[in-house]
């Protein structure tokens, strides 16, 4: 009886562990589905996607229910076998004692101890059945700690005194920026080649624009400079240092990144602007609010600088959020690399032009890389890169490339100009502009459209 009470829970551990983990995996997928549905509620309603979401939820729910049913069937089977395997021998032992004419005074004591063994075995079984649950919970909690890390970068974090001045070379300090070099760089992710055989050198302090179709690999290219992606082949260096460990950490500290994916927190307007600023910034908060065109937004907020912006900046519009992100970057001290990845998405054309001009003037001596789909705006840059299908297909001065009919840059510029002429400037479209909550009729004659 004792062997059955202890042995059965031990022998059934692999079955219970596997089924419990399967249930938790499906439960995680189901929870993620709920979160995605809540975050995308507006888009789901706008595209009438309730039925597909319902079908997806039903599919996940059925998988979770089947996994849970399988686990509980196993648990019940183990419980039944354990009960039969402990109580039946105990009862047989009592009958055997009675048949042998055992003393009456000892029968009650025998019954007590014999029936206590199954109870003791059940308690052991309960503890053993709880083990898979606690084991799987612990594994899930420890998963972030097992994520791969750059050993050199970790060593630098653990030894603050190691942050010497290796990265900034003398020539870089004079220009206020960092020199970047990529040699035969190939990036792969999930078996797909994102960038292939990239050779690129950017002198310190140069401003470079990057254009190309969506999904061409533009964001991956600049992601290499922050360590979000690692080359499968080739090398990336900044100054005279390979981009890893100390050099990568130093570059991150000296980088201003403006991207629609940069998180806005459920904190005050002021806290969001100052987020990531650990030392006294080069510009005052008032200067940044003015230069980033945030004064109008600040005047609308009920509590001014103390107004909480909501989860993910939900209380501000997309364009206002972009200006918040720009203001945060402006407050970052000691910037030597500026990365603008579609930095002014959600703003009108004039605002994009003004803010881009302001940004380039503010960081005129800093290495600046700007990813944009406004091809015409890149003509003001001294250099433009064209990325297509993971390859760097063109690299040169924009105005020269624009005069070459067979260049990809010229084709992109022509397509953009044609699109604006045929759609935005066409008199066949009725144009309305939303200003301060009111719809305003725009020009309809060719002269008015051309002027606008």
Q: Which residue has the higher pLDDT, 401 or 140?
A: 401
* Boundaries of every domain in the chain: 2-146, 171-420
What is the DSSP pairing of strand 337-341 with strand 255-258? parallel
Closest to 326 in 3D by CA, of 306, 302, 346, 301? 346
Closest to 117 in 3D by CA, of 89, 156, 158? 89
Instruction: Give the pLDDT confidence of 220-266 residue by residue, as tens digits.
Output: 999 999 888 888 899 999 888 888 878 888 888 889 999 887 888 88
pLDDT confidence of 166, banded at 50, 70, 90? Answer: very low
What per-residue confidence (pLDDT) applies to 168?
A: 43
What per-residue confidence (pLDDT) applies to 2?
A: 59
Q: Which range is least confidently modeled, 161-170, 193-202, 269-278, 423-432?
A: 161-170
Q: Is 115:90 a contact under the CB 8 Å cutoff?
A: yes
pLDDT confidence of 162, banded at 50, 70, 90? Answer: very low
Closest to 236 in 3D by CA, of 251, 225, 249, 245? 225
What per-residue confidence (pLDDT) applies to 64?
A: 92
Maximum mean pLDDT: which of 8-22, 378-392, 420-434: 378-392
Q: Is 52:60 a contact under the CB 8 Å cutoff?
A: no
pLDDT confidence of 175, banded at 50, 70, 90? Answer: very low
Q: Which range is least confidently modeled, 147-161, 354-368, 388-402, 416-430?
A: 147-161
What per-residue confidence (pLDDT) applies to 121?
A: 66
Q: Which residue has the higher pLDDT, 405 or 427?
A: 405
Distance CA 370, CA 381 (A): 10
Distance CA 69, CA 56 (A): 20
Q: Which residue has the higher pLDDT, 36 or 175?
A: 36
Query: For residue 368, is pLDDT > 90?
Result: yes
What per-residue confidence (pLDDT) applies to 408?
A: 92
Closest to 370 in 3D by CA, of 181, 201, 211, 172? 211
DSSP class of residue 102 equals: -
Average pLDDT (369-383) is 91
pLDDT confidence of 129, banded at 50, 70, 90? Answer: low
pLDDT confidence of 163, banded at 50, 70, 90? Answer: very low
Architecture of the domain delimited by 171-420? 3-Layer(aba) Sandwich (3.40)
If you average pLDDT over every residue of the chain, what do you get? 80
What per-residue confidence (pLDDT) applies to 386?
A: 93
């Amino acid at each position: 009886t004792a062997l059955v009470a202890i042995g059965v829970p031990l022998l059934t551990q692999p079955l219970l562990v596997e089924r419990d983990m399967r249930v938790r995996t499906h439960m995680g997928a189901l929870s993620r589905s709920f979160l995605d549905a809540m975050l995308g509620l507006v888009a789901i309603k706008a595209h009438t996607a309730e039925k597909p979401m319902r079908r997806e939820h039903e599919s996940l729910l059925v998988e979770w229910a089947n996994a849970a049913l399988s686990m509980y069937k196993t648990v019940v089977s183990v419980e039944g076998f354990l009960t039969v395997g402990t109580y039946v021998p105990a009862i047989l032992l009592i009958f055997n004692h009675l048949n042998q004419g055992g003393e009456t005074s000892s029968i009650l004591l025998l019954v007590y101890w014999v029936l206590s063994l199954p109870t003791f075995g059940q308690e052991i079984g309960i503890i053993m059945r709880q083990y898979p649950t606690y084991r799987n919970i612990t594994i899930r909690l420890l998963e972030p700690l097992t994520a791969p890390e750059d050993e050199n970068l970790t060593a630098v974090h653990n030894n603050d005194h190691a942050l010497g001045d290796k990265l900034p070379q003398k020539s870089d300090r004079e220009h206020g920026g960092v020199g970047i070099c990529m040699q035969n760089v190939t990036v792969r992710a999930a078996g797909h080649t994102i960038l292939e055989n990239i050779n690129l050198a950017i002198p310190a302090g140069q401003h470079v624009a990057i254009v190309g179709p969506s999904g061409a690999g533009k964001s991956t290219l600049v992601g290499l400079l922050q360590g979000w992606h690692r080359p499968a082949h080739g090398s990336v260096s900044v100054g005279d240092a390979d981009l890893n460990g100390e050099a990568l950490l130093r570059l991150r500290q000296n980088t201003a990144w403006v991207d629609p994916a940069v998180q806005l927190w459920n904190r005050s307007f002021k806290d969001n602007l100052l987020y990531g600023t650990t030392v006294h910034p080069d510009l005052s908060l008032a200067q940044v609010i003015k230069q980033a065109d945030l004064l109008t937004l600040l005047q609308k907020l009920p509590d001014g600088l103390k107004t909480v912006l909501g989860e993910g900046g939900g209380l501000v519009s997309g364009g206002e959020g972009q200006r918040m992100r720009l203001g945060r970057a402006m407050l970052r001290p000691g910037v030597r690399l500026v990365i603008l990845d579609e930095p002014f998405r959600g703003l009108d054309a004039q605002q994009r032009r003004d803010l881009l001009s302001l940004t380039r003037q503010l960081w005129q001596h800093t290495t600046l890389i700007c990813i944009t789909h406004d091809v015409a705006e890149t003509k003001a840059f001294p250099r433009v890169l064209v990325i297509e299908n993971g390859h760097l297909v063109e690299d040169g001065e924009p105005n020269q490339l624009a005069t070459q009919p067979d260049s990809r840059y010229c084709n992109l510029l022509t397509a953009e100009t044609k699109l604006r002429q045929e759609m935005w400037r066409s008199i066949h479209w009725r144009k309305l502009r939303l200003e301060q909550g009111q719809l305003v009729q725009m020009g309809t004659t060719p002269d008015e459209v051309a002027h606008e």
